[in-house]
A and B are shown apart, each in its own frame.
Chain A
């Protein structure tokens, strides 16, 4: 895992220039926004190095990479800096050859961007602990199954971003109904494994009877 390195904090030395043929991403192992960029780097097979930043104790030099010290930031060997996760992802798709992640068709590209706006609107709708107010209600139950499945993979909390969603996930897991129906991680992964092999026994995975 390229990103399995300790986060750099205050008092650390700034890293040197990025060698040619490589691109650098300033990241944090649990940040979902940086995760986007790392996904695109991996999906396109782009040679890269990862420098993790301690977001609670940022190195002074990091503000020369991003005015507010946010991640992710891309830095290439020409010292060009690109930030905002969506902009970074699009830059990588444009700048590097191989598999294109955005479609070629302008309308299909626009559709993807509209979907992303929808996603932000969902996150933006939340100004109370639960999506419907201070108590759990229908909309929370309607959203939960997808988030529970993502949670099984361990999606990351990020110290700076979407704290509301992190709080919501934690609050949901305290709800007796959600608790009672919580899927066991190993059983779910076992199911998925068989399911993707088109194994008809997938559906009964984990049953002891």
Chain B
């Protein structure tokens, strides 16, 4: 499993060759929370993979042949099949590869995980807006909106009476929402979970998971990335290397 700490490929770079058999490739970026979902599933299921990091501020032309939207993550297998949209890549990996199933077999439980995923759907753009905020007046408004969304998740845990969103063991939905919670500390939003005790406990339990902890980024590295990213620096994606 290589490439997680490799320099990103940018405009002018040569396109990578085909994916060798027995391996799956993920086009990623070290700090992208959407790509982190895919990497978490790859790790959790022990899937042999290689990572090619893409410079999202200076994309290689060939990357649009992998995903016409030019976004990460994208999976490419040895048959040349391409899969994009983070949630779709995660579900594909769970279906295609053996080992521990992250999505439940029971149709209703599976549907419940997808309904929780919908409940979470406003969080990523709120967190990004918070990161991009121009002034401190926006700060309180955005925090309030975030509280509202986090409360919905707290309600799920309260109703289910379980540690994780899919039950008493960690499963797909937990991995799908985790990356943004990792950002909370760096964005100084930890107080947003002060009123959601179950969510706070969930965060602590997540940090104990081997896949989650293997993929954690040091807060100061994340902060360094944010600074450069906000300045639109083409060096952002490789910060810390």
Contacts and interface: CB of A to CB of B under 8 A. Distances in A.
Interface in B96-146: 96, 107-108, 110-111, 114-115, 118
B83 A114 contact: yes
Ordered nearest first, which 9 A-B pairs have the shortest CB separation?
A94-B107, A106-B95, A95-B107, A106-B96, A110-B92, A91-B111, A87-B114, A110-B83, A113-B88
Interface stretch (A78-86, A138-146, A197-205): A78-86
B61 interface: no
Interface of A: 78, 80, 82-84, 87-88, 90-91, 94-95, 106-107, 109-111, 113-114, 117, 121
A87 B115 contact: yes
Interface string B64-95: 00000100000001000101110011011001
Nearest to B84: A114
Contacts of B88: 110, 113-114, 117
Contacts of A87: 111, 114-115, 118
Interface of B: 69, 77, 81, 83-85, 88-89, 91-92, 95-96, 107-108, 110-111, 114-115, 118
Given A91-B107, A95-B107, A109-B91, 13 more contacts: A87-B111, A87-B118, A90-B111, A90-B114, A94-B107, A94-B111, A95-B108, A107-B81, A109-B92, A110-B91, A113-B85, A113-B88, A117-B88
A114 B111 contact: no
B156 to A, nearest CB: 12
Contact of B115 (A78, A83, A110): A83
Given A84-B114, A90-B114, A94-B107, A113 B96 contact: no
Contact of A109 (B84, B89, B95): B95
A163 B77 CA distance: 40
Contacts of A106: 92, 95-96
Nearest to B108: A80
A168 to B, nearest CB: 23
B15 to A, nearest CB: 21
Majority SS at the chain B contact face: helix
Contacts of B108: 78, 80, 82, 91, 95
A7 B24 CA distance: 51
Contact of B111 (A82, A110, A113, A121): A82
A111 B85 CA distance: 10
Contacts of A91: 107-108, 110-111
Contacts of A94: 107, 110-111
A80 B110 CA distance: 12
Nearest to B155: A67
Best-surrounded residue of B84, B85, B89, B111 (most CB of chain A within 10 A): B111
Contacts of A90: 110-111, 114
Contacts of B110: 90-91, 94
A82 B106 CA distance: 13
Contacts of B111: 82, 87-88, 90-91, 94
Contacts of B95: 106, 109
Contacts of B96: 106-107
A147 to B, nearest CB: 22
Contacts of A78: 108
Nearest to B83: A110
Contacts of A117: 85, 88
A80 B108 CA distance: 8
A73 B110 CA distance: 16
28 contacts: A80-B108, A82-B115, A84-B114, A84-B115, A84-B118, A87-B115, A87-B118, A90-B114, A91-B107, A91-B108, A91-B110, A94-B110, A95-B108, A106-B92, A106-B95, A107-B77, A107-B83, A107-B96, A109-B91, A110-B88, A110-B91, A110-B92, A111-B83, A113-B88, A113-B91, A114-B83, A114-B84, A117-B85
Contacts of B83: 107, 110-111, 114
A135 B69 CA distance: 26
Contacts of B92: 106-107, 109-110
Contacts of B114: 84, 87, 90
